[in-house]
Structure 1
Amino acid sequence: MVLSASNVGVNAEFAGDVRARFESRLGFRVGGKITARKVDVGSTVRRGQVLMQLDPQDLRLSQEQSMANLRAVETNRDLAKADMKRYQELRVKNFVSQAVIDGKVAAWQAAQASVDAAQAGYRGQANQAGYATLVSDLDGVVTAIEAEVGQVVAPGTPVVRVARVDEKEIVIGIPEDKVDALRKVADVTVRLWASPTAVIQGKIREVSPVADPATRTYAVKVSIPPASPDVRLGMTATVQFSSTTPTPLIAVPLTALHQEKNVTSVWIVENGAVRLTPVQMGGVAGNQILLVAGVNPGETVVTAGVNLLKNGQKVSLLAGEPASDK
């Protein structure tokens, strides 16, 4: 075949699924035993809506203990203040020394500091008691339940997943040899398996910098417009990438490549004989290999039987395939 350079189209399709762009894994800020679950998977929730509840008994007892401690230190403070005032009156009559007054003032200040600490402790314990109720921090839909009634959970353990439904994206896996070629593609379209005739315009939002350890593919997230109709979480979708190379490239069939000692070459036909020429590959376009160096437009290459040829071997061309003459 006679080589020619052109802007080659790069097309690829990958299957993925619809996911929420924002998903929160919610958990209690305190530990305890779950006593109630108010939602199911698929439930629509509003910001501030109750999702789960813990047994509040232990938290309430701790709150009552903090309150009792606060009352005790307030009593000690009032006593220290009254004692200080009595000694101040005696000081006016010169019945006690200034050193005694200084000691009473210090005792009152220490009692006041104890009250401040007890008040802070009580407020913190009151907050802890409020954490026995788990509420949603966003409007969305419940996508998973990770704990059930009767289960004892530690602080921070995720128990409910809530996803926003206003922004969705398609998550696909791309082989490592196509990541760089598809990263800058602007023409991205999405089709749903449930509605293959509807075309949704997409945009690459994120390309994972690390390959998945199991599949060895790179996760790519393609965002779609919020107003896209009939797009539900978990649907199967196909993402198509379409573009052309910025510079003209030469495309040859895979059968034209000759591999020897980790060097890729092609056979160039000149004056009825073949010459092995190393080439540099630049990617794949369909069933053809793109060459970026080693050959020039107008040259003739062998596309069949490349493993049977030797340098300088005479060959005959099929009708309509003129050999290059240099």
Structure 2
Amino acid sequence: MNMETNIGGDPATYAPLDGARRRKRALIIGGLLILAVLVLAGMFMRGGEKPAAPVDSAPQVTVIVPGRRSITAEISAVGNITARREMPVGIPGEGGIVRAVLVDAGTWVAAGQVLAVVDRSVQTEQAAAIEGQIAQAKADAQLARQNLDRAKRLVGNGFISRADVDTRQAALDSANARVSVAQAQLAQQRALIGRLDVRAPTAGLVLTRSVEAGQIVGPGSAALFRVASKGEMELQARLAEADLARLRVGSRATVTPVGTNFRIEGSIWQISPVIDPNTRQGTVRIALPYHEALRPGGFASAEIGGSTGNVPLLPESAVLSDAQGNYVYVIDGNNTVARRPVKVGQTTENGVTIASGLAGNERVVASAGAFLNPGDKITPQLQAVR
């Protein structure tokens, strides 16, 4: 039996094996091509995106540039309502029994108006007696003039001497003097009678009445009436020394009597020239026009407008405080936090005024200052000023 071995023989005997290898190789190449296409497509799609920005580790903090604003200081105060010019009215004359009271509390009166009448029967009789003395003195003067005229005619004929004429002239002068004295006494008596009328010294509102008909009054009696001149009122409020220094005569004020919703406009007309050494307070007097809600002795609150200043204004959250005082955090050109001591002024509904320590052009941390420390780096976020 012959067996042939075909070593290195006809390649046709290997044809099926080479076809399988070629298919396998084609599949591998095709897969690589597909993978390459996918990679290229992904790179193309990402080509329009910007590279991610580097992460900034500095925290973002809101800052504000306060600038400077015109602020009118408002000072709150409380005090008592009184008449601005209260006029006590008493008895100007010798007094007597009150016959009639013509007005009551709450009445508006004119200057010189009669408020009460005191009995004048005795004074009237005295005036009548003086009028009789005047009539008698005038009659004596008339007789003395007639005697003088006759004497002057007779002295020329030599019937009487010149001394007799002089005597008659003196009698006439004396009679005329008695007439003048009696007339002066009558005028005085009439003036005394007029003073028995209790009159209003000025136009205004009667605040109190302390007299009744039948009452006996005299120069030593207490005031019978009290009149508020022109009905003008005022609020007397006690303020701290520092607040007084911020006020000026003429500053406007709004007064609200207790228990009412009325807002009455007035102005400061006097600031106390002295300070109580014990309380360190002084009195400010606010002039008010008449209003039915203003009653002397009542209580009222006031909002007083003080001086106007051009100062920086910050939100309350920007101002911090510790044992060293008030301060804010400002941001320098390198975005570094720095502590700045400040003096706080008035607190308003819009924020806190800064009396000193800021020029107004600084970048100030508006909030979150409690979480910062001097020297920290931040990313400032500017907030617009409202």
Normalising by the residue count of structure 1, what TM-score does the alignment of the two structures yield?
0.67
Q: How does 1:21-60 map to 2 (within 5 A)?
A: 21=84, 23-38=86-101, 41-47=104-110, 50-60=114-124
Letter in 2 for 1:158: A
Closer/same/farther in 2, CA of residues 50 and 243 from structure 1, 3 Å limit: closer
Per-residue CA deviations over 1:24-56 (Å, capped at 9, x if unaligned) read 322232022342352575342544654223232
Pick from 195, 208, 225: which aligns with 1:131? Answer: 195
- Structure 1, unaligned stretches of length 5 or more? 259-264, 301-316
1:1-326 map, 5 Å: 6-7=68-69, 10-21=73-84, 23-38=86-101, 41-47=104-110, 50-136=114-200, 140-147=204-211, 149-154=214-219, 158-163=223-228, 167-175=231-239, 176-183=241-248, 186-196=251-261, 198-200=262-264, 202-211=265-274, 216-224=281-289, 230-234=292-296, 236-242=299-305, 245-248=308-311, 285=347, 291-292=355-356, 318-322=370-374
Looking at structure 2, the residues matched to 76 and 156 of structure 1 have their Cα atoms a distance apart, in angstroms, of 44
The C-alpha deviation readout for 1:154-211, integer Å capped at 9, x for no partner, is: 189632113356x543313132332231226745323333432x434x2314114445
Contact kept, 8 Å, 1:30 with 1:156, in 2: the verdict is: no
Counterpart residue identity of residue 115, structure 2: L
The question of whether the paired residues in 1 share the 8 Å contact of 2:249 and 2:270 is answered with no
User: Aligned in 2, Cα 1:184/1:154: closer, same or farther, shift over 3 Å?
Assistant: closer
Structure 2: runs of 5 or more not aligned? 1-63, 331-335, 377-386
Q: Deviations over 1:121-144 (max 9, x none)?
A: 211211211221223355544211
- What is the DSSP-based 3-state SS (H/G/I as helix, E as strand, rest coil) of the residue aligned with 2:263? strand
Distance (whole Å) between structure 1 residues aligned to residue 144 and residue 159 of structure 2: 19
Which letter maps to 2:187?
R
* Structure 1 residues 32 and 169: CA distance shift in structure 2, 3 A: closer
Q: CA deviation at 1:268?
A: 10
1:119, CA displacement in angstroms?
0.7
Structure with greater proportional strand content = 1
Of all paired residues, the percent bearing the same amino acid is 19
SS at match of 1:115: helix
CA distance in 2, matches of 1:321, 1:184: 46
Aligned length: 294
One-letter amino acid of the counterpart of residue 125, structure 1: Q
Q: Which residue of 1 aligns with 2:24?
A: none
Answer with 1 or 2: which has the greater Rg: 2
Tell me the secondary structure at the aligned position of residue 92 of structure 2: coil
Moved more, 283-292 or 59-68: 283-292
Instruction: Give the match's secondary structure for 1:221.
Output: strand
CA deviation after TM superposition for structure 1 residue 319, in Å: 3.1
Q: Normalized per residue, which structure has more helix?
A: 2
- The CA RMSD over aligned residues, in Å, is 4.5
Moved more, 125-134 or 33-42: 33-42
Residues 267/233 of structure 1: CA separation in 2 closer, same or farther (3 Å cut)? closer
TM-score in terms of structure 2 length: 0.58
1:233 partner letter: R
